[in-house]
Structure 1
């Protein structure tokens, strides 16, 4: 373990690099690095503080880079020494993407990537915990997919946990990926309704963009083509309060006058590229459906289930309805960051021997305090699935609220403060 320290306003940070097995079931198969940033309030760096592990959403999302302590982190630093963990394959941890996997055959790539789910992340966390706490249990705060990981943690290593805090991240424990997307598409349609209610004039602009892209080869800044279906994926922003209006501000600058007529502006194309490219998060695309798989294959679930919702057809629907958190096989044909992983992604979509992520008996006997925020209108995680799963976790306390969207944890300190109070029996 290596560590370097530095300060910035509001916090003192120490960077750690840990060596963990690539395959915890076969320690002789090599090692990878996992990065964690320890953060503590100024003046408290030498105090004996309890640890709080933060698990970011994703999959494939690196830990938050603290620019301020005005939201949840500031509240956490009042009581904890926080570890912002770059889950394996992300951020400063050993990366997993087109460059690092280029020397492998597709089957090797798929086998390698299959080791980057929540079960491996939890085993990494246990290695890290032993080194940082000397074996003492710590608290875990899981945001979105980080909450999925927290339930895997409760299933496989509850002895390592002092308490669990979950925000927008209780998955179905037994459902197939088809169930996830069959519930997700109507929620995304509801967000489209809300968007067009706020910006009715954008319906015409969105249709004009689709028609322009269908009849013109329009390159993004990296040279890859912006297709109508890639444009349609911008709806992923609808699920966060801080990003809900971002599409409107892109569309209002979409067209400029060119020599031969209207063209899509550089401002628009650069903004779109920042959303649709998976260059910074390839694991999000490669493993997104795998996070729901237990002894089953996803077989491109979001793509198959979409056929049940004609509202998303670009040609026949009365308006352009944007899609949400769905991964489609054509991503691996159109995104340069994903094209080299296409064959591996096909193998992972067909994989039907994924191990179980959750132990229902252990969850039913749980004695670790668990508090969870379930966002009533969450576009990413189904409310009914979350509540059904929470009932399977003994002692879990749930707060259902429509005050926040999926990014409620970043809105301030209120969400984390409420969850901590719930586990203390004060709320």
Structure 2
């Protein structure tokens, strides 16, 4: 571990930490990769007297959130903890994965083999590798948001001795559902989120249909070369899983067109905003491994599960909607083969993505027997009808983890731990400390 000097933001002291860990923890003498994490301590606290809280971001493929000062849940955490914001391997400053870096790994087959080391199992072993250097061997509390909750559940399955407590927000995974089952459960939820959006903003029905009809005749090219087709436009539905996402989608749609001498055209401003939402430039690992995070059967490939399942939900067929009077339905947290042709940041990785989709040999991520005997204090916020994580799957897992206490709420969407400020974390801490 190397340590850089500390620096300040309003109300906090930050310290950068750099580590090296094995690429493959089963081969500790082999290749090593770099990890980065940012420590955050309240400016008026002595860090040596505080226990550690490790934060695992959602994803996969997103680096830890870059807070300024004491934003969101961090305000509550800093009252009791020394916080570590870890960039999970392949994200942020931790040996990042992208179209620019992966060619150094060799052929697409070699790239795909490399990426199999970037799931929750490797992330947890990274955490266990760096924990002794930071805590002196003491267990720490882990806060896992979304995919970070999947990682936390794996942590409970494989290394519970490293945990003082586990806090999960919007991230209790099914212990046994494969990617196909995950998306069979997801599409009805996505449809409900669409209908709720159109009930709130009925004027958006015609706006979305008009944009889709325009793109069906003439796909647009976004800044950077992203090809905006009807399917790509539909993927803006990812917004509908966030607390303010419906409102953001409405504002995006309301002024899409401008008059030009050649007739109405999609505005540069609209296309720029759409590009900011759709580009995978900042998180390509999300597209590459999204279905692999659900893969647990060594004999079964994921095989583009979201694409296959979508075919059984014809209401998401834009051509059929436009041919009739139905509203255009947006999709959600789904990755499709066309992503790797539409997005220039993914296009060079298309063959690698195909190899990952066809891969077998994935290993189970959760140990039901060990979870049933769990002794770590665990609390989970389950957001009712969460668009990204199925509520029924989460509650089944909650029942399977001994001692886990749930807070089921429809006050927040999937991003409740961020949108709710200190409140969500405060509730979870009360649950694990028997204060609620």
Q: CA separation in 1, counterparts of 2:110 and 2:230?
A: 33
Alignment pair present for 1:353 and 2:361: yes
- 1:315 is aligned, of 312, 319, 331, to 319
Please tell me whether the aligned partners of residues 219 and 230 of structure 2 are also in contact (alpha carbons under 8 angstroms): no
Report the counterpart of residue 381 of structure 1 in structure 2: 389
SS at match of 1:27: coil
SS at match of 1:28: coil
SS at match of 1:52: strand
Alignment pair present for 1:260 and 2:259: no
Q: For residues 36 and 114 of structure 1, do their structure 2 counterparts lie closer, same or farther at Cα, with a shift above 3 Å needed?
A: same
Structure 2 gap ranges (5+): none
Kindly provide the CA deviation profile for residues 45-91 of structure 1, in whole angstroms up to 9, marking residues without a partner as x. Answer: 44410000000000001101112314210100000000000000000
Kindly provide the CA deviation profile for residues 171-218 of structure 1, in whole angstroms up to 9, marking residues without a partner as x. Answer: 100111111101100101011011101111111111111111121242
Please tell me whether the aligned partners of residues 12 and 45 of structure 1 are also in contact (alpha carbons under 8 angstroms): no
Report the counterpart of residue 19 of structure 2 in structure 1: 18
Alignment pair present for 1:79 and 2:76: no
Q: Could you state the TM-score of these two structures normalised by the residue count of structure 1? A: 0.98
**Superposition map of 1:154-233 within 5 A:** 154-233=156-235
**Superposition map of 1:14-163 within 5 A:** 14-103=15-104, 104-163=106-165
Q: CA separation in 1, counterparts of 2:137 and 2:341?
A: 46
Structure 1 gap ranges (5+): none
Q: For residues 331 and 41 of structure 1, do their structure 2 counterparts lie closer, same or farther at Cα, with a shift above 3 Å needed?
A: same
Q: Could you state the TM-score of these two structures normalised by the residue count of structure 2? A: 0.96
Report the counterpart of residue 435 of structure 2 in structure 1: 426
Q: CA separation in 2, counterparts of 1:366 and 1:82?
A: 24
Task: Quote how far apart the aligned CAs of 1:297 are.
Answer: 1.5
Q: Which runs of 4+ in 1 moved over 4 A?
A: none
Please tell me whether the aligned partners of residues 242 and 407 of structure 1 are also in contact (alpha carbons under 8 angstroms): no
Report the counterpart of residue 417 of structure 1 in structure 2: 426
Q: CA separation in 1, counterparts of 2:219 and 2:253?
A: 19
Computed over aligned residues only, the root mean square deviation of the Cα atoms, in angstroms, reads: 1.0
More divergent stretch after superposition (84-93 vs 199-208): 199-208
Alignment pair present for 1:337 and 2:341: no
SS at match of 1:20: strand
Q: CA separation in 2, counterparts of 1:415 and 1:300?
A: 34
Please tell me whether the aligned partners of residues 47 and 82 of structure 2 are also in contact (alpha carbons under 8 angstroms): no
Kindly provide the CA deviation profile for residues 85-114 of structure 1, in whole angstroms up to 9, marking residues without a partner as x. Answer: 000000011111111112410100000111
SS at match of 1:391: helix
Task: Quote how far apart the aligned CAs of 1:224 are.
Answer: 2.8
Kindly provide the CA deviation profile for residues 303-328 of structure 1, in whole angstroms up to 9, marking residues without a partner as x. Answer: 00111111100011212100000000
How many matched pairs?
A: 427
Q: For residues 280 and 194 of structure 1, do their structure 2 counterparts lie closer, same or farther at Cα, with a shift above 3 Å needed?
A: same
Report the counterpart of residue 2 of structure 1 in structure 2: 2
Please tell me whether the aligned partners of residues 54 and 83 of structure 2 are also in contact (alpha carbons under 8 angstroms): yes
Task: Quote how far apart the aligned CAs of 1:28 are.
Answer: 3.4
Q: CA separation in 2, counterparts of 1:354 and 1:191?
A: 32
Kindly provide the CA deviation profile for residues 240-299 of structure 1, in whole angstroms up to 9, marking residues without a partner as x. Answer: 013221111111120001120001011100110011111110010000000000123111
